[in-house]
Structure formats: structure tokens, C-alpha cells
Amino acid sequence: MSRRWILCIFIPLLLLACQAVTGPLTRAVWDSQPEAAALQLELTPTGSPAPPARIAPSPVPDTILPTVAVDVLAAPAATPPEAAVALPPDVKFQVRLHPDGPLYAGDQVSLEVIAPPEVTPRGLKAQVWLGKPQGEALGQVDFERFGITGRYQATLYWILDTSGLPAGDYPVTISIQPPRLTFTETVTLLPAVGLPPPEPGAHWAAATIDCCTLHYITGSSAERDLERLEQMAADQALSVSQKMGAEFAERVSIVLLPRVLGHGGFTTQDISLAYLDRNYAGSTTQMVLHHELVHALDMQLGGDLRPTLLLEGLAVYLSGGHFKPEPLMPRAAALLDLDWYIPLRSLIDDFYPAQHEIGYLQAGALVEYLVERWGWSAVSAFYRDIHPISENSSQSQAIDKALQVHFDISLSALEEQFDQALRAERVTEELRQDVRLTVKQYDLIRSYQQLLDPSAYFMTAWLPDSKELRQRGIVADYLRRPVQMENLTIETLLVNADAALRQREYAEAEQFLQSVEAVLLAIQSGAAQPLAASPLAREQAAVIAVLLDQGCEPQRLAIEENTARAWCALHKATTSGLDLQELELVRSGEGWRLAEKLNY
């Protein structure tokens, strides 16, 4: 496939994880600064008064990025209308096509036309034609805020239906008006017969149980494990209802995604939950589901103002941890020990841009502290009774007032006492290591997404309306994802790092994470062979190449000296369509090979 690539990435803060979004993800949840124009790999958590050192790399090689370059055909009008934005003559708009990866004849193609970060394009529209201007008009849409970052873009969902079109190259013209700035993008369609499994026969299906409706794509891991997922959903929904003392008013819609988006979970009208064998985000499925179900019931119970810190802290506290079971107060105490603690007022008023694991851990620990001190009923009443003080007041001001009404304590006094409680906790070296490596793990996950899978990055994740996807019968937007050698190598390294971290093998976990870091830095610096930056990554890639040659996609690898074990996904004509097979490989003088012939 031949797409033209642009040498810039939009990457904001390196911070972050899963959250509830109370409105469509295509609109801003809050006003924020525009994203940075170039990737800065952040390996030290943010939140301290002085910003940490950053690595500002060279542009990424154009063979990696799933974005497109634009050719300017007409300069902006000399005198734009008064309400329009005056664009610099050399301005470049970034365009992303969906589904990710190669496009095939029959796809319904969406476009993101992303404004450069220095432009605030209020009043601008994007018009799209198939072919040259005045060709077949596909549609137009306003530039609006998108995702949690509030990035300005024109989002054109499924604007190009390629059903009936033969394979080949198709020019698409995009015009920014006003002023008039026109450029072209070439959409390359591959023959539909080349669709990878399980997509040719895949479709949306649903299973309904008392609490929930589970939507899944046939041929995926979710279909294979559906019975277990139904029981998991029933158990987690019951747990949430019991803990919150309320019933769900209606069945919860849960969409099981066969790829990682964000950290594995989002809550809008539906709960979107990643479920796949190579879940490099390291999240425990039942905990992420429990977290998102808390958000769903929390939205149902309502409140005039549910401050973000308390909203997320509630979900972490009631789930017994963020991505895994964890003691909240001791781990928050480790943040103090590591000098990573974020003052509460700053965290309350700027929650999502704070370093993600630190913010969520502090929030969960604070809610736990409140409940242990005043009891669940009193804290719940306080939480539902927080109100904005004025139109321009901050969330911290609203919390401060509600604290004084309900508990006769100010926010400043509460933080002093919370700090004392944290300092009374015992912080072991093991705990300190675990917290430090967990933060590094998720910073690297987000770095990877921003660099090699931007549709997955949680601040601007590609998460179209699930109901419309199902009505249109579209599965490609979730089934397809980048699967180049760099993607597979980094993702399997991240899976290994998470497994080692959960087994408290900290030296091994750090080795895997350092390998991921080295590869990402090599890619950023434009290295011709970035996987060579790490011996461990190079070995991992050599094993993956053998497996791909056998037609099986690796989900997890374990390499020891001259032997390796691999867990591979094989798509078969079975009921589920997907089998997970364990294979053994051996290394000889000629390289890696399967220990025995693979028959399927």
C-alpha cells in the first residue's frame, strides 16, 4: 500500500490512563492547551513544580507514522473573512485515515483533519471531494474539539464508502474554508481478497445477561471466551451495586474491543473494554470492567458537580486498585518517598494532564482516607452535594466549600492530615520499586501509542459511536491495528514487562522496560534499524519473524538462552475462529526455528 506520510506527530503530555467520559469522545471534555508538535518521550513523572528533563528527538522516519502529508494546491485567500482564522502561508494540516493500516476495497473510510497546534481554527470547515474540487462531494464538517485533550480537528466519520470500487489509488481533495486552503490525499485500496483473518467473515454479535449486553466481534478472543466474560460481567456488576448501594436502572452496554485503546477501558453511553490475548496495556480485565461499571452507576446516581479527582478516585477505591489489586494508602505513601506527590489543589484542578498513575493513585488513596475517617454514607452524601461556587470557580474551590459544610474542615487542613496519614505508612523498598516501575511502564505504553499507534492514545483515542458501528456492520475500525515488526516486538516486550512486574521480578521487569525505551528512542532519532538498539528486542524480533512466516501472530514470548516458548493466535474454521497455541522454538547456528512442524 502506498500512502504518503507526514513527519510530525501530535503528542501532548506523557502522563495518563483510563477514565470516564461523560459525553461523546468527539468533543472536548474540558478546555486544555493544544498538543505539542513533536514527541517528547517523558520517562520521569510530571507533577512536581519543576518540569523534568525531556528527550526532544529528531523527526520519526516516514516509514512508521500512520499519518499523511498534504500538498498545498492553493494558498489562503489574501483577505479572509473577519470571523475566520488567518492561517500562515506554510501551514500544514495533518490527516489520518481509518481504519488503521492498509485499506481494502469495500472499506468505509473516515478522516481526521487535524489542525496544527499553533492554530485555533474557530469558524473553519473542512470540505471533502472524491477526485479534484468540484468532483463528487463527500461532505463537510466544522473543526471542533476532539478527545480529552480538546484537539481541534474536523472529524469525518465513514465519509468514503468504497463498496463497489476496484482496488487502486483514489485522490481525495480536502479544502479548509475560509480561507481557502486545498490539498490532496491519495487513498490506496488493496483488493478485498487480501483481507486478513478474521475480518472476511467477522460481524458484530451480542449476548444478553441480566445486568448487561455484551457486544463483540465474531472470530475474536471475546467470542472464544464469551461464557467466562458473561460470568465476569455479572460478578462485577453485582459487586459494584453492592458497594454503591444502588441498582443499575437498565442493562449496561459493554463493547468488547479486539484491540487496545487507551489503557483498556472507556465509559460513554457504552463501556468499551479491551479484550485480547496480547493486551500490552497490562490492565486486569475484571478490574478495568469494575472501574468502568463504577463510572456507569456513578453517572446514573448523578450530582451537580462530580469533581474529576473524586470521580476517578471513587472508581479506583471501590475497585481495590487501578489496573491491579494494590494497597492504596501505602502506595500513595511511596509517592511521597519518591518525591512524586502532587499537591491536592493542583491535582483537583488539572487532573487528567497530571501523570496518570500518580494522579489516580492519589485520588484512590484520598477517597479511601475519607471513607475510613467519616464512613461511606457521609462521604457519599458529601460527594453528591458538591456544587460550583460560580461560573468561573474551580473544582478545588467547590470541594473546599463542601468539605466545610459536611465535615467542618478546609481543603488545606484535610491535605495536612492526609499527608500525616501517608507519612505514618510503612514504605518498603519492594513497594517503592513496584510504584516506580509501574509509573515507568505506563509512561512507555503511552509513548509507544503516541509514536506507533496514535489511534490508541487515550487522550485522542479513535472511539467512534459504537451503536452506529454496529448498525453499519463495520468491524475494521476495531479489528485493524498496526502490526509491523516494531509494533509486535514492543507489544510483546510490554506484555513480558507486565508479567514480571506482577510476579515481583523487578530486575527482569526493568530489563524489558529499558529495552522498549531504547527502541522508542531509536525510532525517534531516525535509526534505520531501531530494533537493533536493544539485544533483547532484536532477539524478540527474530523469534517473531519465524512465527509470522508460519502464519501465526505472537501474543506472548518467553526466551531463555537457546529455547523459546511462544503463544500464537491461529485463525481456524472453528466455532470461535481463534485458537491460542503454545509453540516451542530452538536456536541453532542458522537462527531460530520451530522445534516441530506446525500443522493446522
Task: Identify the residue whose cell numbers are 509453540.
Answer: 583
Give the tens place of pLDDT for each residue, 426-477.
Answer: 999 999 999 999 999 999 999 999 999 999 998 899 999 999 999 999 999 9
Q: How remote is the C-alpha of 202 from its chain's centroid?
A: 24
Give pLDDT, residue 137: 87
What is the band of 85 on the pLDDT scale with cuts at 50, 70, 90? Answer: low
What is the band of 32 on the pLDDT scale with cuts at 50, 70, 90? Answer: very low
Give the tens place of pLDDT for each residue, 541-568.
Answer: 999 999 999 888 899 999 988 999 999 8
In this model, does residue 58 exceed pLDDT 60? Answer: no
Give pLDDT, residue 56: 31
In this model, does residue 416 exceed pLDDT 80? Answer: yes
Q: For the chain, give every domain's residue range.
A: 19-192, 196-301, 303-452, 484-600
Give pLDDT, residue 89: 66
What is the band of 367 on the pLDDT scale with cuts at 50, 70, 90? Answer: very high
In this model, does residue 48 exceed pLDDT 60? Answer: no
The phi and psi torsions of 91 (rounded to 5 degrees) equal -65, 145
| Rounded-to-integer distance, Cα 108 and Cα 181, Å | 25
Give pLDDT, residue 22: 34
Give pLDDT, residue 142: 94
Give pLDDT, residue 271: 94
What is the band of 577 on the pLDDT scale with cuts at 50, 70, 90? Answer: low
Average pLDDT over residues 201-205: 95
| Rounded-to-integer distance, Cα 17 and Cα 359, Å | 10
In this model, does residue 43 exceed pLDDT 50? Answer: no
Give pLDDT, residue 161: 94
What is the band of 295 on the pLDDT scale with cuts at 50, 70, 90? Answer: very high
Q: Determine the 3-state secondary structure of 364 from DSSP.
A: helix
Q: Within the chain, what is the greatest distance between any pair of CA atoms? A: 74
- What's the predicted TM-score (pTM) here? 0.84
What is the band of 255 on the pLDDT scale with cuts at 50, 70, 90? Answer: very high
Fold of 196-301: Zincin-like (3.30.2010)
Average pLDDT over residues 149-163: 93
What is the band of 580 on the pLDDT scale with cuts at 50, 70, 90? Answer: confident
Give pLDDT, residue 597: 61
The radius of gyration computed from the CA coordinates of the chain, to the nearest angstrom, equals 24
What is the band of 392 on the pLDDT scale with cuts at 50, 70, 90? Answer: confident
Average pLDDT over residues 262-275: 90
In this model, does residue 136 exceed pLDDT 70? Answer: yes
Give the tens place of pLDDT for each residue, 483-529.
Answer: 999 999 999 999 999 999 999 999 999 999 999 999 999 999 999 99
In this model, does residue 594 exceed pLDDT 80? Answer: yes
| Rounded-to-integer distance, Cα 248 and Cα 240, Å | 9
What is the band of 39 on the pLDDT scale with cuts at 50, 70, 90? Answer: very low
Higher pLDDT, 495 or 14: 495
Average pLDDT over residues 198-220: 95
| Rounded-to-integer distance, Cα 349 and Cα 425, Å | 27
Give pLDDT, residue 371: 98
Q: How remote is the C-alpha of 107 from its chain's centroid?
A: 23
In this model, does residue 79 exceed pLDDT 50? Answer: no
Preceding peptide of 388 cis, ω within 30°: no
Average pLDDT over residues 567-584: 73
Give the tens place of pLDDT for each residue, 318-366.
Answer: 999 998 899 999 999 999 999 999 999 999 999 988 999 999 999 999 9
What residue ranges in 480-534 does DSSP mark as E strands?
Answer: none
Answer whether 132's CB lies under 8 Å from 185's CB.
no
Return the ∠ at Cα 541 (arms to 490 and 452), rounded to 5°: 35
